[in-house]
Chains A and B, each alone.
Chain A
């Protein structure tokens, strides 16, 4: 069997781009049934293993591994995403009014306990109370995506993790894997919603679908038309900024525009539960010695 395996065979089995150049030609050998079967099985296993590996390693690693090798072809994705969305949450000015939660629930027709952006009361080690709004962290390595058996969770090129509610079967294993408790299930009938400007799709999951998971989507359907998410525009204190890591700009509901990287480094911004390896894209600006991971 060894002598008949060509580079193309190996590549097909491992998910590596096939070399299209001239391949040493050999005398064609008739493929008997046993050889065909064994090759098929090996290829299938190889494909399955490569697929699983790619999922496990995450987007960055797999895309790095499949970069074109030939010179002359452009590196990276054909059309790089024009935005990489993130949020900055300035804990120094949050007064815990929960306007963000109310606006979010109103816009997405959610039940009262479906707090896609939740305002958690915290207490620092010094005993000082503060409030911590918690949207979806839009992790760069989202733990919710690989665990879904039907692939209902996915991450867009612009860095948004979304749920396809038409696909979701409701195993709730993503609720188990999310370290931020940012996922909410539709345990019963969804809140009825009037006709929406967008169709029901992952970027605008309105109305919710009974028996599926929902979560904060950064109001993804509104972003292309230049609108900021509801929680950002409705925060009276200007706590929440929508940021774009490509243009390096962030803006809050009061219209204050900051240069993202400068703002984060000057204010010692931190991420929540960074030790879980999720690489969240929500940056918190503490200011009173808070430690989000250990404060209760």
Chain B
């Protein structure tokens, strides 16, 4: 903010290049992953592919021997694949949040993150949807789900199918629309600097996908309107997906599934884990593709604030759920809550409470840990802990016997997960799906510019929001201009905390003044 007021006083910076110039550092940084193959690229791709292949082999074994090899039985009829389905579709929400919500709220700082966030949503959603295959007992009949004469419209699983496929379509459109204006400059850049088969393929691809973009005012108007509309549609669609997923569980009489809180609970959990995954992918992309000049530590801290907001909401929902159910005197509810809090599932449950419930709050509350490193570390823990929490949501109600008897009492169901026992098959498949996400992202960014060049230029070219790289430490503390209003209050708090973070130190070549290095604050 101090930098902003300084910039406004100074007027537009002299080293700004006019929007639309192709040869600049920003475009080069966005295109570098496409033309340059880093040394680590092929080994990473091979290693990740090998993990995916192991998962496919495990699935083939399951196909041959039946889903029982995954540790399922009539007591634990739903377990790890259902938790995976929820968790992997859930992490795709990060893209919806960072792009759609920040777009609609005009948070300009989102600009360098949107492409990575939307790409994360684009690759995690199909991976999550694929879990329907190992989940089914007879996957050879999966076509029946898309065969309208067999549709039973009262089934929540069918609603799932409609909601998720619509959301996938919206995600694809939401990834494509902001990409359009980047394609012609990217194609021209490749014509000058790119060689080889893939560069030619990319050029042809860009011609097909965005060849008609001339950048006229009318085109810009239509594009902005479309992006705004899709952003508005993506949010209710995302909410519908996880609400409907939760209906599949809630359409029963089981304690722990039959909960009115479940849809909200699922949606917030998805947003929470989604933001955490976006932090991880942004951090990895920044490091691997050398985007330090455009993605700053303060981006992570801002994402950290988003993360902690969702995390606190989720902690609150968990608290209310277990409190109310534990309070009710019915045998089923009381038994289920007891098993989670102090019984068989206490280890995974308290792991969630400590790691994804309390720790993010602490990390963001304490100034010393409120850093890029702190946010990235806590995000990695949150992604894992939220997967574990999904197991705690799915498995206990399924394994809770509905017909209790002294002969087969609850205590006889030994093991951490009740009657469910992990085997190598679901573990391999889950790990394979996890590996598929970075693999697909690595491949995707060999074909698509990793930064939304046009969007960054547009947002950056507004002088009121621009910070042209004047070192924050060198500026006197200036009061915030009154016209910045309520939005600035949020930003002022963030920036006053962030001004002295490592990474914005003057003299660091990566954070030094560059033509497009603007730390947009709003």
Contacts and interface: CB of A to CB of B under 8 A. Distances in A.
A95 interface: no
A212 B137 contact: yes
B137 A150 contact: no
B137 to A, nearest CB: 2
A169 B136 contact: yes
Interface string A162-178: 00000111111101110
Nearest to B158: A149
Contacts of A211: 66-67, 136-139
Which of B68, B69, B77, B150 lies at the interface centre, i.e. has the most chain A CB atoms within 10 A of its CB? Answer: B77
Nearest to B71: A187
B72 A185 contact: yes
Interface residues of B, number: 46
Nearest to A166: B141
Q: Secondary structure at chain A's binding surface: helix, strand, loop or mixed?
A: loop
B409 to A, nearest CB: 8
B135 A173 contact: no
Contacts of A142: none
B328 interface: no
A212 to B, nearest CB: 6
Given A121-B406, A172-B77, A187 B136 contact: no
Given A134-B403, A175-B77, A181-B402, A51 B153 contact: yes
Contacts of B248: 173, 176
Interface in B121-139: 135-139
A43 B73 CA distance: 44
B319 interface: no
A295 B151 CA distance: 39
Interface string A27-55: 00000000000000000000010011001
Contacts of B404: 296
Interface string B180-202: 00000000000000000000000
A150 B144 contact: yes
Given A147-B155, A173-B157, A276-B253, A113 B406 contact: no
B153 A121 contact: no
Q: Secondary structure at chain B's binding surface: helix, strand, loop or mixed?
A: loop
Given A167-B144, A180-B402, A296-B404, A147 B136 contact: no
Given A150-B150, A180-B403, A168 B138 contact: yes
A296 B152 contact: no
Given A55-B154, A149-B151, A176-B78, A189 B144 contact: no
Interface string B402-413: 111111100000
Contact of B251 (A55, A177, A189, A296): A177
B445 interface: no
B73 A187 contact: yes
Contacts of B401: 181
Given A113-B73, A184-B74, A176 B406 contact: no
B251 A147 contact: yes
B72 A146 contact: no
A170 B403 contact: no
B137 A149 contact: no
Given A129-B406, A187-B67, A294-B331, A149 B145 contact: yes
Contact of B137 (A52, A148, A181, A186): A186
A170 B67 contact: yes
A176 B252 contact: yes
Contact of A181 (B67, B158, B249, B403): B403
Given A171-B136, A177-B252, A212-B138, A48 B67 contact: no
B431 to A, nearest CB: 22
A120 interface: yes
A271 interface: no
Nearest to B410: A296
Interface in B189-222: none
B161 interface: yes
Contact of A147 (B151, B154, B403): B154
Which of B137, B141, B144, B158 lies at the interface centre, i.e. has the most chain A CB atoms within 10 A of its CB? Answer: B137
A123 interface: yes
5 contacts: A176-B248, A176-B252, A179-B253, A187-B66, A211-B138
Interchain residue pairs A-B with the least CB separation, the first 7: A170-B137, A187-B68, A211-B137, A55-B154, A188-B66, A211-B138, A121-B407
Given A169-B141, A176-B398, A188-B65, 10 more contacts: A55-B152, A123-B406, A146-B155, A150-B150, A169-B144, A170-B139, A176-B78, A176-B252, A180-B403, A187-B66
Interface of A: 48, 51-52, 55-56, 113-114, 118, 120-123, 129, 134, 143, 146-151, 167-173, 175-177, 179-181, 183-189, 209-213, 273, 276, 294, 296
